[in-house]
Amino acid sequence: MENGRLLSLVVLNFEQFWTQSRSSVMAGSLAASAFFHGPGSSPAASARSSKNTTGELPENLSVRGIVAKPNPPPGAMQVKAQAQALPKVNGTKVNLKTTSPDKEDIIPYSAPKTFYNQLPDWSMLLAAVTTIFLAAEKQWTLLDWKPKKPDMLVDTFGFGRIIQDGLVFRQNFLIRSYEIGADRTASIETLMNHLQETALNHVKTAGLLGDGFGATPEMSKRNLIWVVSKIQLLVERYPSWGDMVQVDTWVAAAGKNGMRRDWHVRDYNSGQTILRATSVWVMMNKNTRRLSKMPDEVRAEIGPYFNGHSAITEEQGEKLPKPGSTFDGTDTKQFTRKGLTPKWSDLDVNQHVNNVKYIGWILESAPISILEKHELASMTLDYRKECGRDSVLQSLTTVSGECVDGNTESSIQCDHLLQLESGADIVKAHTEWRPKRAQGEGNMGFFPAESA
């Protein structure tokens, strides 16, 4: 009801302004025509009508019958330079003009039209705009933007907000067209980027962001930064282009010197789980590039935000095997991709390769048959060493299952190793793959698996 009244008020004010503007323009045009004659008239023609009956011309007429003006406008009329004074006979002025005034060359004169004569009444426009703003301000104050529960407030613009008594941060993301892959669903790198974005925004929204990349003020004073040690994720389904996902994240303690961060990703409309993930973070000195203990001051900063809830209860606890190891005596096959080098865009503000980039390098050595017919169901990454700009890496993948017996309907397990060509390990990973679901079984892309 209030919105309808506001719209009616706006339309009424603009109708009044338009009517007043048209009236002002018409009044200005009539006033200008009253003071200035049209192009077909001239002062001389008007003067001829005022000629008296005796045949004498008015005193304000010149020899050629043109009205004399003290200050004629420049370029408005032309006056002959050879004009002479009238002779006198017996003290009386004599007109020596032999031609009649009616046949005299008439120089047209038109008054210039000024811009100011045709301007509308700007006060009406100012009044209309002021009325609109006042009505909008009144309407805004009448609306109640405070929800009954914090969870009822929809994060329309995707900025994120703190919920559940300040222990959980929530942010929404829209899946863009450039974030989907060949199978029309969001890539695992897209989902991992959402996890990283919410982690940083959580620190910023809580007021704990220092001058570093997610570092707190006390960490910045000591040149400490966060580095990820381990990530484990379980993917239930993959969102499609245009889907809205809702990401919840929170933190907890992980031993004496670590911090655990968990995520729970859901579909915004249906509430179905998309992904669950957990990670462990430790501190590293930015100058020495060595791991550091957590100072008590930093623990006092982040301690009030710790939440004991865990997103994944069945955590991967055993040590990840290297590629080449056998799975319970089954046959395996190994794939290698060499010559991987970081690009400038792969580095983050801490001057090392972003942890999401490692996933793409790990999958570089996975056979294309797996990527076409299977989707990633779970992944565990164990980060061993940071990677710099000048590093040259190789990716190793050991596969058991489909590549050996040719059965595309079974699950596949892979062990991955990303290492420097010099031999130092960067990341070890373990992945599990399931066959891509057929049309309508899970993903909202609605396409057969064979069309990927």
Active site residues: 350, 352, 387
Give CA–CA dist 6/199, Å, rounded: 41
| Whether 440 contacts 446, CB under 8 Å | yes
| Whether 205 contacts 342, CB under 8 Å | no
Give CA–CA dist 274/236, Å, rounded: 5
Amino acid (1-letter code) at residue 225 = I
Give CA–CA dist 385/426, Å, rounded: 5
DSSP character string of 334-347: EEEEEEE---GGGB
Stretch (H or E) spanning 194? helix 188-205
DSSP character string of 17-68: HHHHHHHHHHHHHHHHHHHS--TT--HHHHHHHT--TTSPPPTTB-TTSPBP
Backbone angles phi, psi at 361, to 5 degrees: -70, -35
Residue 188 buriedness (CB in 10 A; 0-12 / 13-18 / 19+): buried
* Contacts for 300 with CB less than 8 Å, ≥ 6 apart: none
The separation between CA 16 and the C-alpha centre of its own chain, rounded to angstroms, equals: 38
Helix pair angle (188-205, 355-364), 10° resolution: 170
Residue 321 buriedness (CB in 10 A; 0-12 / 13-18 / 19+): middle
12: left (phi over 0), alpha (psi -120 to 50) or beta: alpha
Backbone angles phi, psi at 83, to 5 degrees: -65, 135
Stretch (H or E) spanning 132? helix 122-142
Give strand pairing partners of 334.
398
| Whether 377 contacts 350, CB under 8 Å | no
Give CA–CA dist 377/360, Å, rounded: 16
**200's tokens:** 């940083």
